Amino acid sequence: MVHPVKIDKSRVFSVAPMIDWTDRHCRFFHRQLSQHAVLYTEMITTGAIIHGKADFLAYNQAEHPVVLQLGGSNPADLAYCTGLAVERGYDEINLNVGCPSDRVQNGRFGACLMAEPELVRECLGAMQEAAGEIPVSIKTRLGIDEQDSYEFLCRLLEVLPEAGVKNVTLHARKAWLKGLSPKQNRDIPPLDHARVYQAKRDFPHLNIHINGGIQDLQQAEQHLEHVDGVMLGRAVYQNPWLLSQVDEQIYGQPGLLQKPQDVLPAMAEYIEQHIATGGKFWHVARHMLGLFQSCPGARQWRRHLSEQGPRAVSVVPLHEAAEMVLEKIGDPAYEI
């Protein structure tokens, strides 16, 4: 008899890996809002890590728990990069089997790997062996193109235990590899949350998280009645203050902040340090545009940062934008 896997309650809520969005500055910002949410890197290809000149594995220790998402299909390369990630202290290593972009398909990884479950097993097995006690996981879709039957998904899920992997995030859409852009693939294929629920019932030994179309924490809690975890992406990026409610509402722990402006002193200090080491104000501030979403003054906040941020050489635009929004809110309690 197969027994249900023991659920890691510390990982029931995560922020999705999003290319060009969830970089190290974004993750530092998100960590100021939630102590417990699991944060994912952008997908980083094995080729970039092995052959690139930049340090693609760099992150801030404040980001923990943080997961590295790898893109690749060569088991040896994935194992090598996994070993590097373990040395750097990542809390988990994730294999991307869901990205539908042409560039990723040309590299024979991402969503197209769903059609090769045996290769996925080989990749994950090599990664888990290199990771040792650090968990390896997979993020995938429900299907690809015309291969979108439930049986097709099951063939992939069946190989995971053979690779020693039990953690899987299912984006509740299939991917169209032909004819749709990655952006269109986030909206056009219909959502099928029920299929993810069915997968959890049929594979109780897997730790299954759901992703796709979840807009708020109320919806997240509803999904948690059927699966082991939830992953939110654009909803969090566009309204990051949502994260401030995660610790209390999802984990039953006290929240870190009371008001959106409470995060500004820590972020001002972080931006100053980034600028002092040769970085740009906009590298960080661009991730903060949605902080005051739905608050009075949110438009002024976004406009001022967007207009002044790209050429800013100091943290002054942050303080100026804060003064604008707090005047609208009627709360002067912000100290530089």
Catalytic residues: 99
Question: Between the CA of residue 30 and those of 16, 25, 90, 100, 292, what are the distances in Å?
Answer: 12, 9, 17, 26, 14
Determine whether 66 is exposed, middle or buried from the number of CB atoms within 10 Å of its CB (0-12, 13-18, 19+): buried
Q: Is 207 annotated as a binding residue?
A: no
**Residue 279, marked binder:** no
- Does 128 show up as a binding residue in the annotation? no
User: Binding site annotation covers 173?
Assistant: no
3 known ligand binder: no
Joined together, the tokens standing for residue 132 give: 């040792």
Annotated binding-site residue? 200 = no
Check the annotation: does 287 bind a ligand. no
Residue pair 223/214 in contact (Cβ under 8 Å)? The answer is yes
In whole angstroms, what is the distance from residue 10 CA to residue 33 CA?
Answer: 16
Nearest one of 100, 95, 87, 89 to 63, comparing CA atoms: 89
Of 40, 38, 47, 42, give the one whose Cα is nearest residue 72.
47
Is 213 flagged in the annotation as binding?
A: yes
Query: Per the annotation, where are the binding residues?
Result: 69, 139, 171, 211-213, 233-234
Query: Per the annotation, where are the binding residues for FMN?
Result: 69, 139, 171, 211-213, 233-234
